[in-house]
Structure 1
């Protein structure tokens, strides 16, 4: 019988002496097994018939199945029959009891998992599931789904959910996704770690699942829509996409109220109000990343807590007049100029601060527009090698760069933004003349359509989609566009002088970064106060030349 002192010593695994002792002991036990020495039980296993010798003490310590077996009625028999496990699989798992390792292959892992569950070998189950997930492409996701249904293995189930969460965009396009039950889909959608670029991706996946069998899934639809971070949608999206869905009217109303009435938020009962985040420690908080100057730009990060800017990284590029877009965890530098106009596309990883070259555009461009819509990147207009451009090309990972329909007007030094699944291009120059014209692109129809002209000519302004409207801000003035009414209205001007201005929508507020403050004499950061219809200056901006800004998760910059 073990004494308390011997139990304490057995738990002291940190000392080198104890580790050496345990290694020596396990080596001796394994040699007894290999030499079939001091064997006290033999298993008779079928398919094909084989005798597998072992030591009761080792097996009982490794598995409650064997512990209960040896304490049962036939536990003292020198030979015990096992009828429901093939002999080679059984022998692999007996070896695991001694060594913690087993020969797992794609071909035998289903049988190994079934047997490990029968024998209650939890560590073996973990090893088998880990092997399966590491070889998921070879085993196939469909095979994993089938095995999980057959075995009801909770460890496999959790690993599949983690895989689905991480690879949601790919999974949501598969045929298997259409047959997910609502409980499974809920478990995925509620995850704060759901790997999507924007909340609309999750909405699109729900609509695809719902449209596969509308009559049977109509009552379940509100359960899934409630899993979305509804407050991250703009008001127009909520009204045109969420509110018309059967059973989702109240969900849309709550989200609209939450956005419109900040003071009422404590009284609005919503399951999720914060954006998705990578970890609980940052609660999904987002911040602003600003790209300053061009040839050797700096990246500045906004610290919301201290209301100040700090340098995140310096980037060496060596050319200018490119356009930049945020794509997942990367900044894409598209086109540019250095004595000649470029068609190159370079990718800079924000987290790792490393470069990668991507496929070049068909046409060289500078001072153009770039936007992302539905996981595709668009390069719009600009100036080519020796001509003004109206051409537009689109990049996808499957098709590379391809031309789509051209702009109605040639334009460069313009800006573009996406809203309601459309691309809006506005302002800039047509040849040498500033223009007020605006047009939008419908990717479903591959057409550009003219919109109402802006009130003011803007060249390289700051633009942002915010709460269902498009805002355009430059030192010449500020205005906003209502796509439902096709009308522009001027708002109070930002009191700034020379300098580029960028706009972003963060925390349900419209922010501008850049432009020299007339009061402070330095570049500034301002937030639009919609209730009082005025701009409120925040902290000063330490650089004089801001080229573009992006809203990113704070966790993306945590390595700083």
Structure 2
């Protein structure tokens, strides 16, 4: 049994020593497998019948399927029968457990994926999906759709969606496209990465889909048309093509008003006002807005050219413990706490014209909760109202706030982010103390599932998605989550003292903003130098407590 001292010693090894040790260890394990030495289990596999020898310890480490199998009633048998996987595929996946590699072909990829799912080999699942997507010309998109329906593989589903978005023009002319459900088509049309040369291409695709079954699709049509960048059409197109569509009259009129009445734009509620590719989330020239303090907060703007922070505006608000989210040109203040009362209010503050607007209230009053946006929908997660909350609700403009499945672990002062079409709720306090648990929400199945725990307890951390990973930073330390491996690993320590902090990804770099710099004795702003595994201090903030930071187009602020 490993002791805490031996685990500590392993962690203290430098990377080169550890790499040499692991390389030597794995070489020896490979030789045991090749020579069938020290074998302690043999699998009898059908179709055709074959005997596949292996080592229990390694397989149990590679997959929870084998770990549970060996801990079960039949697990001590020297020979174990496997009846639902072909012998050739099974042997390839056993080899994968030793080498991390498997021989995949177009003819075997479906069987490999199915078997990898059964054996709970996540890396083999990813390898199979990656192979399929890079051989789509041979496998065909129709085959990929069929395989996804058979396996219900979420990794494949996400990769297919990315492929559809990138190859939208070709796919929108296929027979499969005509049978897409409305929700799937809506997710594609909302995407700012939809690969089209002009907005009319997306309109034409909607028309083809709608005309295929007009009676059944008339109700969904306005929802899809609302996903278009309507302000990119000219006025004649709006009134000859958009306005005559059932339920789309108001959409056409609103877009017309936006185009023809620039002075009235602050009062017009448009979902999309910019062309695809230059929204706040992916504009090539971006900067940071930092929301400092809670009562009457200051909004600070980062000047990239001069590497300095400057005060942008004061926002008057007389309550605290709310959570904020950026949606288009608006900061949404959701929930909060005022005079011993928890609030369910939702208020929108427009960055361009500095005006307030009230939105529909939440079902549940919340403070110290989490808020995120996913696929155009807002989620309010957990929080506190006299007791710790596990409830979760979702907001859409068409339905308002609706309850969805609750968290497994109620939590407040937690953090949450979205990645790969899912929501991750991380850490926080469950009323008894701070927790390390992490949960992942799948909006398609409306379910929360447990993920690997964070390695440390974090108090008031910052969280951000950067280069496909989730980063959590606090004065307790810094760590990174790999969604493919479902593992957390510590990264170089960020020395900050007490104070609210946050983090964002800007210009392909991870920024940690807020808290107190111990070395400089002033509010901290640091950028992660990944190559040298260290943090580099940047121009300090004029304030320590940063409630939230937002990456926005510089044009949004320069046009004020």
TM-score after normalising by structure 1: 0.52
Tell me the CA shift for residue 305 of structure 1: 0.2
Whether 1:363 aligns to 2:356 is no
Tell me the CA shift for residue 552 of structure 1: 0.3
Residues 493, 344 of structure 1: CA spacing in aligned structure 2 closer, same or farther, 3 A cutoff? same
Residues 343, 202 of structure 1: CA spacing in aligned structure 2 closer, same or farther, 3 A cutoff? farther
Whether 1:554 aligns to 2:554 is yes
CA distance in 2, matches of 1:404, 1:374: 15
Cα deviation digits, residues 466-496 of structure 1 (max 9, x gap): 1110000000000000000000000011111
* Aligned residues of 2:283 and 2:553 also touching (Cα < 8 A): no
* Aligned residues of 1:480 and 1:489 also touching (Cα < 8 A): yes
Quote the residue 2:304 is aligned against.
Answer: 304
Whether 1:328 aligns to 2:321 is no
* Aligned residues of 1:278 and 1:555 also touching (Cα < 8 A): no
Whether 1:545 aligns to 2:545 is yes
Residues 283, 437 of structure 1: CA spacing in aligned structure 2 closer, same or farther, 3 A cutoff? closer
Tell me the CA shift for residue 501 of structure 1: 1.2
CA distance in 1, matches of 2:399, 2:455: 39
* Aligned residues of 1:460 and 1:500 also touching (Cα < 8 A): yes
Quote the residue 2:421 is aligned against.
Answer: 421
The correspondence of residues 148-159 of structure 1 with structure 2, limited to 5 A, is: none
* Aligned residues of 1:178 and 1:209 also touching (Cα < 8 A): no
CA distance in 2, matches of 1:202, 1:319: 43
* Aligned residues of 1:284 and 1:554 also touching (Cα < 8 A): no
- Mind listing any 5+ residue stretches in structure 1 that lack a counterpart? 1-171, 182-195, 214-274
Tell me the CA shift for residue 396 of structure 1: 0.3
Tell me the CA shift for residue 180 of structure 1: 8.5
Quote the residue 1:504 is aligned against.
Answer: 504
Residues 325, 201 of structure 1: CA spacing in aligned structure 2 closer, same or farther, 3 A cutoff? farther
The correspondence of residues 55-204 of structure 1 with structure 2, limited to 5 A, is: 199-200=192-193
* Aligned residues of 1:479 and 1:490 also touching (Cα < 8 A): yes
* Aligned residues of 2:190 and 2:375 also touching (Cα < 8 A): no
* Aligned residues of 2:459 and 2:476 also touching (Cα < 8 A): no
Residues 444, 345 of structure 1: CA spacing in aligned structure 2 closer, same or farther, 3 A cutoff? same
- Mind listing any 5+ residue stretches in structure 2 that lack a counterpart? 1-164, 175-188, 210-275
CA distance in 2, matches of 1:472, 1:494: 11
* Aligned residues of 1:323 and 1:333 also touching (Cα < 8 A): yes
Quote the residue 2:346 is aligned against.
Answer: 345
* Aligned residues of 2:192 and 2:279 also touching (Cα < 8 A): no
* Aligned residues of 1:428 and 1:434 also touching (Cα < 8 A): yes
* Aligned residues of 1:527 and 1:537 also touching (Cα < 8 A): yes
For the residue of structure 1 that corresponds to 2:496, the secondary structure is coil
Quote the residue 1:246 is aligned against.
Answer: none
Quote the residue 2:518 is aligned against.
Answer: 518
* Aligned residues of 1:197 and 1:328 also touching (Cα < 8 A): no
TM-score after normalising by structure 2: 0.52
* Aligned residues of 2:193 and 2:277 also touching (Cα < 8 A): no
Tell me the CA shift for residue 559 of structure 1: 3.7
* Aligned residues of 2:289 and 2:551 also touching (Cα < 8 A): yes
For the residue of structure 2 that corresponds to 1:334, the secondary structure is strand
- The two structures, once aligned, show a CA RMSD in angstroms of 3.1
Quote the residue 2:533 is aligned against.
Answer: 533
CA distance in 2, matches of 1:510, 1:352: 30
Larger-Rg structure: 1
Tell me the CA shift for residue 544 of structure 1: 1.5
Residues 514, 179 of structure 1: CA spacing in aligned structure 2 closer, same or farther, 3 A cutoff? closer
Tell me the CA shift for residue 442 of structure 1: 0.2
Quote the residue 2:144 is aligned against.
Answer: none
Number of matched pairs:
308
